[in-house]
Structure 1
Amino acid sequence: MGSNVDPLVVGGVIGEVVDLFVPTTMMDVNFGTKHVHNGCDIKPSLATDPPFVQIGGRPCHLFTLVMTDPDAPSPSEPSMRECLHWLVINIPGGTGPIQGDEVISYVGPKPPLGIHRYTLVLFQQKSRLSTTSIELPPRTRETRAEFNTRNFADQHDLGMPVAAVYFNSHKEPNRRRH
């Protein structure tokens, strides 16, 4: 009899980015008409704009969304792990990031080499966060590199994630001009 293994475990998101958790909030992510599910492929050209993210919960609940690339600059040598692609706080339940406070603006996938994983991790906040109180390492502020989702959650008392999803992306071939 086969067993179901969590795709976040198989993809290494649990272990490398976050610890094992039980999802408790719905999070639906789409790039245009392409629905994001764990391990799917998203072309960088499809993800130049932020995804449409719908979060469950009540409007009185506030959430933080973190998007990172744990494979930067290359999956075999992720020395910039994790590269921060998007950080939004104070997202009311039942809405999406556009309703929250963007701390780090969205940057789409641009993998230089290999197949990269891009993670979107959702945390439920215990209280409203101030954008001025968000602490990021200096290198993260300057280059988006060396972010750590676990440390960020600990520093801001976010607890365990309530939802997460990841997708894969790789460099698209250059189009030839005729």
Structure 2
Amino acid sequence: MTMRSIVPRENESLVVGGVIGDVLDPFTSSISIRVTYSNHREVINGLELKPSHVASPPRVDVGGDDLRTFFTLIMVDPDAPNPSNPSMREYLHWLVTDIPATTGPSFEGRQMVDAAEWRRQNFNTRDFAMLSNLGPPVAALFFNCQRQSGSGGRRI
């Protein structure tokens, strides 16, 4: 059985992009997530963005209908410093906890986890989720970002 055959159809782009496999195990999306950067460009899976587009924190809207449910948002680069030499795989850009379901404008003001507690280089999303008792993922997005001096990727 191939991974593609056990991944829900809506997550096929996450398999093609390497998110499912490299960062996450197969899962079924159960909430909506919308990420928009200051250039008003909404992130869709596989979108190519320039470093200048992602310099500021994005606006993140998380769906859900139970205000007693809180989410954790993790942004990693699974092929840092570049796809041909991913020696820092996964590089942790940021991690935000305690995001309530049905958020309004953004995650700003939420609990930003001190990255010093976790190694930024060689961070492991699966291990973090297991150690923090987070359960399986509920949503995922990714984009690609080309560095000015070469190629590199960043995924959410």
Give the alignment's TM-score, normalised by structure 2. Answer: 0.82
1:74 paired to 2:82: yes
- Choose from 91, 97, 102 the match for 2:112: 102
Q: Structure 1 residues 153, 135: closer, same or farther in 2, change over 3 A?
A: farther
Report the equivalent of 2:47. 40
Q: Structure 1 residues 29, 77: closer, same or farther in 2, change over 3 A?
A: same
CA distance in 1, matches of 2:94, 2:44: 18
Q: Helix, strand or coil: the match of 1:49? A: coil
1:147 paired to 2:123: yes
What are the superposed Cα offsets for residues 99-154 of structure 1, whole Å, 9 maximum, x if unpaired?
4201147xxxxxxxxxxxxxxxxxxxxxxxxxxxx952xxx1xxx21100000000
Measured after TM superposition, the shift of residue 171 of structure 1 is 1.3
Report the equivalent of 1:111. none
Whether contact under 8 Å (1:70, 1:78) holds in the other structure is: yes
1:18 paired to 2:24: yes
Identity percentage over the alignment?
47
Please give the root-mean-square deviation of Cα atoms over the aligned residues, in Å.
2.0
Measured after TM superposition, the shift of residue 98 of structure 1 is 1.5
Q: Helix, strand or coil: the match of 1:50? A: coil
Measured after TM superposition, the shift of residue 59 of structure 1 is 2.4
Runs of 4+ in structure 1 displaced over 6 angstroms? none
Whether contact under 8 Å (1:63, 1:92) holds in the other structure is: yes
Q: Helix, strand or coil: the match of 1:67? A: strand
Report the equivalent of 1:156. 132
- Choose from 61, 73, 79 the match for 1:65: 73
What are the superposed Cα offsets for residues 50-108 of structure 1, whole Å, 9 maximum, x if unpaired?
11000011322100000000011110121100000010001111114214201147xxx
Give the alignment's TM-score, normalised by structure 1. Answer: 0.72
Unmatched segments (≥5 aa) in structure 2:
150-156
Q: Helix, strand or coil: the match of 1:85? A: strand
CA distance in 1, matches of 2:18, 2:51: 21
Report the equivalent of 1:169. 145
Whether contact under 8 Å (1:92, 1:99) holds in the other structure is: no
Measured after TM superposition, the shift of residue 172 of structure 1 is 2.7
Task: Count residues in correspondence.
Answer: 137
